[in-house]
Amino acid sequence: MADVEVGANSEMGDRAGTPPSISPQGIYDSQQEAGGARIPEVAAALSGVSKVFGGVIALAHADFSLYRGEVVALLGENGAGKSTCVKMLAGVHRPDTGSVRIGDEDIVLRSPQDALARGLAVMHQHPGLFPDLTIAENIAIGHMPRTALHTLDRTRIDSEAARLLKIVGLDAPPDRLLGLLRSSEQQLVEIARALSVNAKVLIMDEPTASLSRGEVEKLFAVVDDLKRQGVAMMFVGHRMEEVYRIADRIVVLRDGRQVGEGPVATIDPDTAVQLMIGRELQNLHPSLSPPGQDEILRVEGLCRQGVFADVSFGLRKGQILGFGGLVGAGRTEVARVLFGIDRASAGHIVLDGREITFASASEAMKAGIAYVSEDRLGQSLVMDFSILDNAALSVLPQTTRNGLVSRDKTLDLVAHPLERMRLRFSSYDQPVRTLSGGNQQKVVLAKWLATGPRVLILDEPTQGIDINAKSEVHALIADLARQGMAIILISSDMSELLGMCHDVAVFREGHLSTIMPRELATQEAVLLAATDAGAARPVISEPDMPLPRISGAAESREPLAEYAIEDSAAIVAARRDPATNPRPAGRHWLLGRELGLLAAILAVIIPAALINPRMLQLANIETVGMDLALLMIASAGMMLVMITRNIDLSVASVIGLSAYMAADSLRLFPHMPVALAVMIACLVGAGCGLANGLVVAYGRVPSIVVTLGTLSLYRGVNSLIAGGRQISSEQVPQSWLDMTGAHVLGVPGILVLAALVMAALAFLLKRSSTGRELFAVGSNPDGASLIGIRRERLVLMAFIASGLLAGLDGALWASRYAVVDARVAYGYELTVVAAVVVGGTAIRGGVGTITGVILGALLLLAIQNGLTLVRVNPLWLQGVYGLVIVLAIALDAFVSRRATRTVTHRAAQQGPDRKQTPLASSSLPTSAQIGAVS
């Protein structure tokens, strides 16, 4: 194999003390010229690609290919241009110069959906998943299989999801809500989704950032299978041992420029690091000072039912105690109890010789404990806040003067911790979202250091940051330990765990397996302790041994035609596994939000009926039923809009305008068919919805601003058209009035119509791909865009549907109440919004059910009717009305939390890896036990 060409006049080679640049020409041209082995087929390539954002050069020149059956590792610091390359191939961005190639053809990828259709699948750095959808729906979203009737094939969706979950090693039922999973488990779902499209090119943007060592090995086994099938892959990561474990070729970027390319055999890790940062990196793991003798924290027999049991360890001043083990083994769960987020069911926590219990995180903070969560974006930072504001979040009460936040006091509290981080920034007022991942993590550390903790718990502190920033964070951790801070370091990065800790506590299946000192902690010893001791010993690469290579087409350079495209043994086993054809789990209706609503409805109806029996008379029930029909239809439209994280405050004005236009048309043309008048009302409503939706979706104006304006606009148009006129029952045909007065099998026709509308919407939301995508847009708008869901179009559709239903409601309103003027449905928008929110639709989007809307509307009307019948003073009516709504929401939230805890607890107890064997004793492991393990 030829040597990699060195550019003598390269940018780096011109400067003394910097490593030479490696030519992107690589070795393959040399092979071809020398008559070497045949070059594999090019699956995709970036050809001379550049990209500029707002005058900032994100990518100056990228020119490399992805070959079938090969893994290319794309390396570089944060901001080097890696994500830009990923998004070029994903169809998110288009190059300013150069081109994206698929095979031998230059193409233009207009959207992520376009890229997916051409066989390019992407696993993004921050999973674009949807917490309010099920695991199976997350895997299939964007390419959901359908039946012959064009409805979603739920059986295929669930069975395929179960098969893929088996392959990636995630033990969870396909119908579980994704939001119930940990972040690392969600990453496995992201992997399963990428595998679901049978892509020709798979791009992995830091897929292992939140995975344990065992999960990483499962992923790499899947990658090995895909290589044998001829899939081209690009791996973006910061863990060098993983890069050299999985990659065949390396491409290095720095400051938006491609500075090196070559096979892994020709670029050793030190050279790769030098290429990335432009200088030699002295030490990734700093030297550690010996810990003190004073014990700060002791944990004895700590348990949390169904999660972990019998955990005991001590933590001394200046000690860094590592928590290792598989994700889900109990590491983070123990940390959450120590920080007061969760409560222990048994055991003792002793701080400075005094036993303590924490009822909340704030109590733990006051005691001197700080916890840096593994979810930097979701739990540690407010991305739109400034650096200064984020750093002050943990000490906010101390930054006020006379009840107002003082910038001077804020700076006094957080300036020193921020300076200690050596941030790269322009101003403390800079939004934290504009920082690199490494600098964001430094802000998180500064935030907690501002509290002056004595015990610092770090959960995956270097997850997703580049190698240079990782080195800086490690230096900070070592410096904190030298100053006497006791630190618990939870990490899935084996090199970090072994290089940064005085001792390593290994967890397995909810108990502490062993604690080993640094000199005895090896990769093999930790892995054996984290898994069953009797299992086959894993093959571990020692630092002084050659790293294992994965065989494949890229290494042998043989024609891909000779490779059989077949399933691996793991995939075959997964296909045959009974779990791949699961029975629908079936969600018990009493565990849902509806229980709280039903209880609240009964709490209103029963006392009211006892006081006034007219509550249950047929005439009153029919009246309430007709009012319910009108409220349900309008509320269903509002729910569609709210699912997408928007709101339509103009709904009542649209109802009023539609009602008047329909009635006025019949006044002017008495012989007009009733159906045509209804159609006019629906068209008026749809037109109003279209106007709202265009401004919100494509004008990107907040919906509350838009619809607050159109609320007055549509009402004003109605007043101008009406001109003060009122249309009475004598001015419209009798057939118009009979439309809502008719009965079907004794049931008011208007209620039957409303029931049909609600059933159709429930079916579409549950059984159509558009319905599920609507929930996806509300659950994670950015994630929806990343996988090619047209967010703007769906938001527009939701507003049009809301307007259409409001128009239909206007026609029914005009028919039912006969007298129509410009004040029809005045103030009704508040009732509609209340019905939707009480029905369980989340204002944040992504959550809502038709059943909930029906029950929410029924609750409001039951309250109104019941209070009227028991002759409550009208002055008290609104107060009682609001109180019952608040109680209903509180009860609903309580039941939802109980249901979530029940599901999570059951999952923890029924996991296949959780064995019914006694957990470890509370005593700490002996030196003999440690020696036996190592």
Structure confidence by residue, pLDDT tens digits, 28-59: 333 344 344 555 788 999 999 999 886 678 88
Q: Decide if pLDDT at 928 tops 70.
A: no
Angle subtended by helix axes 618-643 and 850-869, to nearest 10: 140
Task: Give residue 854's pLDDT band: very low, low, confident or very high (50, 70, 90).
Answer: very high
* Nearest-angstrom CA–CA distance, 149 and 704: 38
DSSP conformation class of 84: H
Average pLDDT for residues 97-106, to the nearest whole number? 88
What pLDDT is recorded for position 903? Answer: 43
CA dihedral 903, 905, 910, 913 (to 10 degrees): 120
pLDDT tens, 780-819?
887 777 676 888 999 999 999 999 999 999 999 999 988 8
Of residues 134 and 278, more confidence is placed in 134
Average pLDDT for residues 901-907, to the nearest whole number? 46
Q: Measured on CA atoms in the order 54, 57, 59, 61, is the torsion positive or negative?
A: positive
Average pLDDT for residues 530-554, to the nearest whole number? 37
Lowest mean pLDDT among 439-443, 761-765, 786-790: 786-790
pLDDT tens, 204-228?
888 876 666 677 777 788 888 888 8
Instruction: Identify the H or E element spanning 551.
Output: none
Lowest mean pLDDT among 26-30, 43-47, 442-446, 824-828: 26-30
**Strand pairing of 120-123 and 455-459?**
unpaired
* Residues forming beta bridges with residue 203, ordered by sequence position: 122, 234
pLDDT tens, 231-285?
899 998 877 888 888 899 999 998 888 988 999 989 888 888 888 877 655 566 8
What pLDDT is recorded for position 376? Answer: 62
CB atoms within 10 A of CB 726: 13
Task: Tell me the range of 411-425, 573-587, 762-776 where mean pLDDT is highest.
Answer: 762-776
| Diameter of the chain measured on Cα atoms | 99
Q: Decide if pLDDT at 129 tops 50.
A: yes
In sequence order, what are the residues at sequence separation of 6 or more whose Cβ sits closer than 8 angstroms to the Cβ of residue 146?
A: 152, 153, 769
Task: Report the percent of the chain where pLDDT is more than 90.
Answer: 27
Q: Decide if pLDDT at 403 tops 50.
A: yes
* Residues forming beta bridges with residue 458, ordered by sequence position: 372, 489
Mean of the per-residue pLDDT values for the chain?
Answer: 78
In sequence order, what are the residues at sequence separation of 6 or more whose Cβ sits closer than 8 angstroms to the Cβ of residue 873?
A: none
Q: What angle do CA 922, 928, 933 make, to 5 degrees?
A: 85
* Nearest-angstrom CA–CA distance, 449 and 518: 26
In sequence order, what are the residues at sequence separation of 6 or more whose Cβ sits closer than 8 angstroms to the Cβ of residue 230?
A: 68, 69, 553, 560, 563, 565
Task: Give residue 703's pLDDT band: very low, low, confident or very high (50, 70, 90).
Answer: very high
Write the CA distances from 58 to 203, 252, 438, 777, integer angstroms.
19, 15, 18, 28
How many DSSP H helices and E strands does the chain contain?
A: 33, 26
Write the CA distances from 492 to 292, 344, 545, integer angstroms.
26, 24, 22
Angle subtended by helix axes 703-722 and 674-693, to nearest 10: 140
* Nearest-angstrom CA–CA distance, 374 and 211: 11
* Nearest-angstrom CA–CA distance, 547 and 94: 37
What pLDDT is recorded for position 660? Answer: 95
Of residues 56 and 191, more confidence is placed in 191
Of residues 573 and 120, more confidence is placed in 120
What pLDDT is recorded for position 257? Answer: 87
* Nearest-angstrom CA–CA distance, 513 and 585: 34
What pLDDT is recorded for position 918? Answer: 32
Question: Strand locations in 638-746, DSSP E?
Answer: 743-744
* Nearest-angstrom CA–CA distance, 515 and 324: 10
Indicate left, alpha or beta for 484 from its phi (over 0: left) and psi (-120 to 50: alpha).
Answer: left
**3-class DSSP state for residue 145?**
coil
In sequence order, what are the residues at sequence separation of 6 or more whose Cβ sits closer than 8 angstroms to the Cβ of residue 130?
A: 137, 138, 141, 178, 775, 776, 779, 780, 783, 784, 846
Structure tokens at 458: 């770090």
State residue 746 phi and psi, 5-degree precision.
Answer: 85, -5
Structure tokens at 737: 């009035």
Average pLDDT for residues 381-402, to the nearest whole number? 80
Angle subtended by helix axes 437-449 and 407-421, to nearest 10: 120
Q: Cβ(861)–Cβ(628) under 8 Å? A: yes
* Nearest-angstrom CA–CA distance, 514 and 826: 69
What pLDDT is recorded for position 691? Answer: 96
Q: Decide if pLDDT at 24 tops 50.
A: no
In sequence order, what are the residues at sequence separation of 6 or more whose Cβ sits closer than 8 angstroms to the Cβ of residue 656?
A: 714, 715, 718, 810, 822, 823, 824, 825, 826
Task: Give residue 891's pLDDT band: very low, low, confident or very high (50, 70, 90).
Answer: low
Structure tokens at 188: 């496995």
Lowest mean pLDDT among 19-28, 364-373, 497-506: 19-28
* Residues forming beta bridges with residue 21, ordered by sequence position: 7
* Residues forming beta bridges with residue 299, ordered by sequence position: 313, 349
Task: Give residue 447's pLDDT band: very low, low, confident or very high (50, 70, 90).
Answer: confident
